[in-house]
Amino acid sequence: MEWNQRCPACGEQADLEVLRESHDLLLRCPACGHVHRAPREAPPEPLRVRAIVSAGTQSRPGTIELMPDDLVEVGNLLVAEGEGDEAVGVEVSSIEVKGGGRVPRARAEEVVTLWTRVIEDVVVPVSVHRGRETRPFHQRVDGEQVFVVGEVYTFGGRRVRISHIKLRDGPVLRKEGWKTVARRIRRIYGRFERDETSFSGRR
């Protein structure tokens, strides 16, 4: 695991090696070898955004899980959840923000309601952590596609190694080699791989 920040000894902005994780982090700089401690910041909590889900002539209420800083745009593919943990892939058709207006794009924390339509495939939310930065992705896949903890996949054109998988029915898969199908996934968590330039598909 790596943590992107500036080394207090040499001033180099780099991916520092994480030697130990507890209440704080023990980090080593790859440039000068300096070892120091840094506070471990908790990632932001996701939001539950109200959604209206349309399928044909019928519409029903639901929610969509987003991070506060996620930028939502008309045309985005997301996952909407309804009663009993039912989840469907949806496409955003309209965005209602605070104040009652509708806009083509907005930050998740500004959204009051997302108007959406059902699509056939499953959309898997992915959060990739690099130091203090979290990058969100949404991957449209077949519901039976298998994802495995510890393996590398392509999300948004980037190589990502899965660190753990949150399932819709509660458990978190953390052990390398544990796997599940896309339709059971609430969110995938991972980290970027260093060498992305020569990668053209899943390993």
User: Residue 200 pLDDT more than 60?
Assistant: no
Mean pLDDT of the 181-198 span? 77
Q: How many residues does the chain have?
A: 203
From CA 79, how far away is CA 119, in angstroms rounded?
10
pLDDT digits (tens, 9 = 90+) for 44-95: 788 999 999 998 788 999 999 988 888 999 988 888 988 766 788 889 999 9
pLDDT score at 121: 78
DSSP state of 41: P
Q: Taking the C-alpha atoms of 139, 140, 142 and 146 in order, what is their torsion angle to the nearest 10 degrees?
A: 0
Residues 6+ apart with CB under 8 A from 148: 162, 177, 178, 179
Q: What is the mean pLDDT of the chain?
A: 84
3-state helix, strand, coil in the chain (%, to 5): 5, 60, 35
Phi, psi of 184, deg, nearest 5: -95, -5
Check residue 85 and give its pLDDT: 63
pLDDT in tens, 117-153: 988 778 888 998 776 677 888 888 888 899 999 999 9
Say how far residue 18 (Cα) sits from the centre of its chain: 21
Answer yes or no: are the C-beta atoms of 4 and 132 closer than 8 Å: yes
pLDDT of residue 111: 96
Return the pLDDT at 41. 67
Query: What separation in angstroms does the CA of 10 have from each of 24, 32, 67, 131?
Result: 21, 7, 34, 18
Give the separation between CA 72 and CA 147, rounded to whole angstroms. Answer: 25
b/e burial code for range 86-112 (CB count within 10 A of at least 16 → b): ebbbbbbeebbbeeeeeeeebebeebe
Q: What's this model's pTM, rounded to 2 decimal places?
A: 0.57
